[in-house]
Chains A and B, each alone.
Chain A
Amino acid sequence: MSDGVEDLLRELAPQVLGALARRYDQFDACEDATQEALLAAATRWPATGLPENPRGWLLTVATRRLLDEFRSDSARRRRETALLAATPQSALLETPAEPDVGGDETLTLLFLCCHPSLSSPSRIALTLRAVGGLTTAQIAAAFMVPEATMAQRISRAKQTIRAGGAAFTMPEAAERGERLLAVLHVLYLIFNEGYTASTGTDLTAPRLSDEAIRLTRLLRRLLPGDGEVAGLLALMLLTDARRPARTGRDGSLVPLEEQDRDRWDQALITEGVTLVTETLPKGAVGPYQLQAAIAAVHDEAKDVDSTDWPQILALYELLEHAAPGPMVTLNRAVAVAKVRGPAEGLALLATLESDPRMARHHRLLATRAFLLELSGDPAAAPTYREAARRATTVPEQRHLTLRATRLAAADDKASERAG
């Protein structure tokens, strides 16, 4: 299938599902029918060429599938009769009229996929399928689980939505803010999953970080005035800009301070910085905007030493106020060390040791090792080693082991010279 057709289908997927779900209000059946219509288009269009009205074509095919499904299901017979009676005959036979502008429906769809009754893996899977138009096989490949496992997860998620009686309607205004936060968090998780994965060569699945950026752009078109949506998009662009420099040729992890900044993607940086600059002055600065602002300061520095660390520290202080959490404190400790010296950074880290979420966390140990290294403390090497033992990913574990080994070798040489 040509990329053009695939891109078009994935753009139309939420619009078709949205229109269908709004009309029939049976999300799970509508979702199945939409996937079948997408599949039919994917096999037919490359051979026959695009129909005149691709969205109408998909909507017609999906509607027919949906009604076939209703007819074949005897348990739904009564509802089917009511549904058929309520549907004008023309809607069954003719190309449906151009659906309303897909915006509100796509947004409703996003809210439904991030429904509070769903676990976060289910929200992610459902969003990628229903809004992203990805197949179950593609989502399974991206998360490295068998297709059957992912199919179960998606079908359970749809059952949960049905059992909970969640309707395909926009949440009440009072609830909308909270639901938007859930949507942003899901998009952020999808981005992170894709960004930290070192296996980026899988041809069967689109890169999840690209998908997250595409969906966040879509969300920004729907909610152009929302600062946090803009902030999240900027954060993704400014982080993704560093991707080319982030891994060595052998797939090893290259930390920010050692990255070749000439390999950063300047176009993404420019776009991200512009977004941050436009959004920040508008007030009501949320955590995504602050994280984007921090990423922008890093991305605009020629090298580590010319980084505006006082600015980064000030932003972390704001972030700690807006969205306190141990990870924020951890990052603030690095900024404190850069501005006021490693001893003060270590003192701030010490406050995290009583936090049960952090006490045994490899990132706390890795950061402490880094600050110990900055202050020339020989405890750095064993601390890196302990961090490596607790690391949860292969690239991090290798990177931390390497640092421990390098430092230990340097310490040995130094003590040989001293001896």
Chain B
Amino acid sequence: MKYLLMIYGNQEKWGEVPQETWPEEIAKQDAWNRKYQETGELIGAYGLADAVNARLVRREGGAPAVTDGPYLETKEYVASFYLLDVESEERALEMAADMPWADRDPVELWPILHEAPAVP
């Protein structure tokens, strides 16, 4: 069963973290990534660039029309996402709760529609 795990944030939130603890926070996340890559349950971990680098793309008269915004009204945006492939929903919940910041902010867990479901 595949899941998408997402963490949200914004510059304000990152700014609250004291600079000297950043390396520690990053190391915690790296440790989480390594731990689940080794079990074969983490397919990929992707950090997203800041919102200033995001673009809105439309098609106008068959050609791409690209703008810098405006984005949906949202205070926080997706900061990173993780692809999981696990045996059960329980396991996915366990991995999500093991995320370094999960005791401060919730993470989102979405099942991915799969072509071949696990047999009940």
Query: Does A196 count as interface, using CB distance less than 8 angstroms?
Result: yes
Min C-beta distance of A251 to chain B, whole Å: 10
CA distance A189 to B87 in the complex (A): 12
Query: Does A150 count as interface, using CB distance less than 8 angstroms?
Result: yes
- Near A by CB (< 8 A), chain B positions 95-120 give 111, 113-117, 119-120
Contact B115 A394 (CB under 8 A): yes
CA distance A146 to B41 in the complex (A): 11
Contact B113 A197 (CB under 8 A): no
Query: Does A149 count as interface, using CB distance less than 8 angstroms?
Result: yes
- Near B by CB (< 8 A), chain A positions 335-350 give none
Interface membership of chain A positions 140-164, coded 1 if the CB is closer than 8 angstroms to chain B and 0 otherwise: 0001111001101110100000000
Contact A198 B115 (CB under 8 A): yes
Q: Most B CB atoms within 10 A — which of A121, A192, A199?
A: A121
Interface membership of chain B positions 36-48, coded 1 if the CB is closer than 8 angstroms to chain A and 0 otherwise: 0111101110000
Contact A395 B115 (CB under 8 A): yes
Q: Most A CB atoms within 10 A — which of B37, B85, B113, B115?
A: B115
Q: Most A CB atoms within 10 A — which of B1, B111, B113?
A: B113
Interface size on B, residues (CB 8 A): 18
Instruction: List, in ascending order, chain A residues with CB within 8 A of B111's CB.
Output: 392
Min C-beta distance of A187 to chain B, whole Å: 12
Min C-beta distance of B13 to chain A, whole Å: 31
Closest A residue to B40 by beta carbon equals A153
Interface size on A, residues (CB 8 A): 35
Q: Most A CB atoms within 10 A — which of B1, B85, B116, B119?
A: B116
Instruction: List, in ascending order, chain A residues with CB within 8 A of B117's CB.
Output: 196, 392-393, 396
CA distance A393 to B113 in the complex (A): 5
Min C-beta distance of B9 to chain A, whole Å: 26
Instruction: List, in ascending order, chain A residues with CB within 8 A of B115's CB.
Output: 144, 196-199, 393-395
Query: Does A27 count as interface, using CB distance less than 8 angstroms?
Result: no
Knowing A120-B87, A393-B114 are in contact, say whether A149-B119 is a contact too (CB < 8 A). no
Min C-beta distance of A115 to chain B, whole Å: 16
Closest A residue to B37 by beta carbon equals A152
Closest B residue to A146 by beta carbon equals B43
- Near A by CB (< 8 A), chain B positions 21-54 give 37-40, 42-44
Instruction: List, in ascending order, chain A residues with CB within 8 A of B1's CB.
Output: 392
Instruction: List, in ascending order, chain B residues with CB within 8 A of A392's CB.
Output: 1, 111, 113-114, 117
CA distance A392 to B113 in the complex (A): 5
Contact B116 A393 (CB under 8 A): yes
CA distance A202 to B36 in the complex (A): 28
Min C-beta distance of A13 to chain B, whole Å: 22
Instruction: List, in ascending order, chain B residues with CB within 8 A of A327's CB.
Output: 120
Interface membership of chain A positions 314-343, coded 1 if the CB is closer than 8 angstroms to chain B and 0 otherwise: 000000000000110000000000000000
Query: Does A308 count as interface, using CB distance less than 8 angstroms?
Result: no
Contact B116 A149 (CB under 8 A): no
- Near B by CB (< 8 A), chain A positions 284-330 give 326-327
Contact A397 B40 (CB under 8 A): no
CA distance A119 to B40 in the complex (A): 11
CA distance A393 to B120 in the complex (A): 13
Closest B residue to A396 by beta carbon equals B117
Closest A residue to B85 by beta carbon equals A145
Query: Does A361 count as interface, using CB distance less than 8 angstroms?
Result: yes
Knowing A145-B85, A149-B40, A156-B38 are in contact, say whether A197-B119 is a contact too (CB < 8 A). no
Knowing A146-B43, A149-B40, A149-B43 are in contact, say whether A119-B119 is a contact too (CB < 8 A). no
Min C-beta distance of A148 to chain B, whole Å: 8
Instruction: List, in ascending order, chain B residues with CB within 8 A of A129's CB.
Output: none
Contact B116 A152 (CB under 8 A): no
Contact B38 A152 (CB under 8 A): yes
Min C-beta distance of B43 to chain A, whole Å: 5
Contact B119 A189 (CB under 8 A): yes
Query: Does A261 count as interface, using CB distance less than 8 angstroms?
Result: no
Min C-beta distance of A384 to chain B, whole Å: 17
Min C-beta distance of A396 to chain B, whole Å: 8
Instruction: List, in ascending order, chain B residues with CB within 8 A of A210's CB.
Output: none
Contact A193 B38 (CB under 8 A): no
Contact B40 A146 (CB under 8 A): no
- Near B by CB (< 8 A), chain A positions 376-410 give 391-397
Query: What are 22 pairs between A and B in contact, CB < 8 Å?
Result: A143-B85, A144-B115, A146-B44, A149-B37, A149-B85, A152-B37, A152-B40, A154-B40, A156-B38, A188-B119, A189-B119, A193-B116, A196-B115, A196-B116, A326-B120, A391-B113, A392-B113, A392-B117, A393-B117, A394-B113, A395-B115, A396-B117
Point out residues on A near B: beta carbons under 8 Å: 119-122, 143-146, 149-150, 152-154, 156, 188-189, 192-194, 196-199, 326-327, 357, 361, 363, 391-397
In the A-B complex, the 4 residue pairs with the closest CB atoms: A153-B40, A197-B116, A152-B40, A192-B119
